[in-house]
């Protein structure tokens, strides 16, 4: 099976380009990169790990 081309997006909460971008169109992995340094590499995490991180961040924001 061929890997999917990442579909990069920024958070809807971002008002500037000083953020991270996320590509979550793969069925098993989520990719994260720095918006200001796109060529410096990416971090790949399992979808379950990403979901736990997002839930943690939502709880901390309240």
Residue spans of the domains in the chain: they are 21-33+42-62
Query: 50 pLDDT exceeds 60?
Result: yes
Nearest Cα neighbor of 30 from 42, 39, 18 is 42
**In the predicted model, is pLDDT for residue 2 greater than 60?**
no
Q: What is the pTM of this model?
A: 0.77
For residue 13, what pLDDT band results from cuts at 50, 70 and 90?
Answer: low
Stretch 13-40: mean pLDDT: 85
pLDDT of residue 40 exceeding 70 = yes
How confident is the model at residue 42, as a pLDDT? 94
* Number of Cα atoms under 13 Å in the Cβ half of residue 16: 4
Strands of the 20-23 sheet, one edge to the other: 8-10, 20-23, 29-34, 43-46
Neighbour-count burial of 12, counting CB atoms closer than 10 A to its CB (0-12 exposed, 13-18 middle, 19+ buried): exposed
Mean pLDDT score of the chain: 85
Q: How far apart are the first and last CA of the chain?
A: 41
């Amino acid at each position: 099976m061929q890997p999917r081309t990442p579909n990069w997006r920024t958070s809807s909460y971002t008002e500037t380009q000083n953020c991270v971008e996320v590509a979550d169109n793969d069925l098993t992995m989520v990719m994260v990169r720095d918006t200001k340094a796109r060529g410096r590499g990416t971090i790949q995490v399992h979808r379950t790990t990403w979901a736990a991180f997002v839930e943690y961040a939502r709880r901390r924001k309240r």
